[in-house]
Structure 1
Amino acid sequence: MKQKGIAWLYLYLFAGVSDMIMIVEGHQDYRFFTKPLIMLALAVYFLTTTAVIKNSLLRKCVGAALLFSLAGDVLLLFPSLFLYGLGAFLIALIGYTIAFKLTQNHQINLRNINFLKTFFYNLPIYIFAALLYFLVNDHLGQMKVPVVLYILAMVLMVSIARERFKRTNMLSFIQVFVGASLFMVSDSILALDLFFSPIASADILIMGTYILAQLLIVMGIRSHLVHSPTAKQ
């Protein structure tokens, strides 16, 4: 799996850099070409390098997350379709959350879970999300319910990514956890820019963290597969 599909990965990076250049130069019309190409390239890269788990739930979940991320990227190009874009990314978060749970080398046993310890491990994530909600709450209006649901989905995704510590190889854990965290940072910048106060260079910060986040998540899942050749989740 190491070299197969590498051209798609280069295309992903090229599209990402091109999209940020279009943002800096103010060529918003060209983003209708550069932005969709980002996730399209990453989706094809993932699907062409994971034939070993063809028809598996893991591949379907990640593939769905990537495709709904692509849909969300396109929808967010149209301000009037923001809510639909949010919905697409919500499904993407759910897909990733399931994938993170599947790429853990353990059997789920509720009797062995220390909920208090888990709570304290995840506390920084909860505090970050609570602070975000506190800042945007007064400006959400009719968007309050979908935004709250989205924040909860983000918290769950990052928490499950953290849960993978010592349940996969260290490279996979770091890539997925950092990627999931950057995904949350990217969405938080977007929320603050829209519902709290305009942020200088917000679009660059959002896309920069988002592009790196998606790449790290995909590479982290592949790292789990590379080091766990018998994994057929």
Structure 2
Amino acid sequence: MKVDANFRRRAVADEDVRRLNSTIVSRLSKIDGIFRVDDVARRVVFDQGTGESAEANLSPCLIQGIRGGISYASRRLGAIRDHGTSDDFIRLELDLDLIDYLWFVADVFPAVVEAFEAYRSTTETDEDQMVDDFEKIIELSRLEKKDILSRDGVFRIQSVNYFDDILCRRAFGIGSKEVVARLEGHVYVVREIGDGVFFITSDKPVAGPETLIIDEKIKRILAGK
């Protein structure tokens, strides 16, 4: 089974992207078990790009069963705004035939959240559902004039999720501490990480109709119903 793990970080205008990349790669290199080489900082290839974006390819250094990299938003003057177009990304593609799911989501996922200083992170297991959701998100964002895909809302609760306090307040109308309190006893894992909430809905990846059932359940709990 293939799973995508996506991590989004709010870009800051005055950051030096090359220096930021070195810091992030250094932090990631300390996560146990995901890299197959010791000198990660030297081996990761960073592409500064032309100023609109930059990226770092992590795949040559990652263990078998994990591929991915980091993409950085444009830091051009005036380009940064409170919108998902100003997000930095880490995207990791997981092959669950080669790596242990629970090890990744319980140990590695939250460590990447902290290393990357992400404000939202999820796993995605159902490509067809993702395509269907994307079309609905675009229409809803247009109608509500909100960035529902990233900074203003949560359209779909996934198998594994991290939302910082700002996103919790925008998406659910409550802070991350209250999200933790409401979810305790209703999900497989829930705990605070930094200024946000990390939770796993079940001990296995969820796809198909079960995704919709869990999504509805979690949103009902967060709404206090």
Pick the structure with more helix per residue: 1
TM-score normalised by length of structure 2: 0.25
